[in-house]
Amino acid sequence: MLAPRRLTLIGLVLAGSLTACDAPIVGEWRSDKKLGNGERNVLTVASDFTGTAEIFATPAFDHALWTRFRFDVEWEDDVEEYDLAMDCDEGPCDGDDFVMECIVIDEENGEVEKLECKAGGEWHGYVFDFERHVE
């Protein structure tokens, strides 16, 4: 027979994993508008608290020069928002790791449609507004 502490720990682990699977942030997202280069930023959030992102940006000195960045993502549910740690792994990744705070917005008949994120670090001020990607 399992001790009460073990049962409690197993229950907490199961509850945590169910919460992640059901978290409204889980899924495929893309920027709600096409960027100046005709592309869209893409964010994939998995139920195992990981994900990936492909973000396009321009340097401050040349807004016509678009650069692609790829990020590995680790996320956590912080009650009313989600914190996404963005770890740059492809592109000119010089100090480009950052954290985004995201809020899921329920817009149509209880279905999640929008994800608004605010970034820190070098990405502060960059607009990260996503919509759920449905094919």
Which segments of the chain are extended strands (E)?
A: 27-31, 42-45, 50-57, 67-78, 81-90, 98-108, 111-119, 128-132
Q: Which tokens go with 131?
A: 């919509």
The SS3 of residue 107 is strand
CA-angle at 33, arms to 28 and 36, nearest 5°: 120
Q: How confident is the model at residue 61 (pLDDT cuts 50, 70, 90)?
A: confident
User: Residue 9 pLDDT more than 50?
Assistant: no
Q: What is the pLDDT of residue 78?
A: 86
The SS3 of residue 124 is coil
The SS3 of residue 99 is strand
pTM exceeding the 0.85 threshold for the entire prediction: no
Q: How far is CA 128 from the centre of its chain?
A: 10
Q: What is the pLDDT of residue 3?
A: 47
Query: Does 1 or 120 have the greater pLDDT score?
Result: 120
Q: What is the pLDDT of residues 22-39, one digit of tens each?
A: 899 999 999 999 999 999
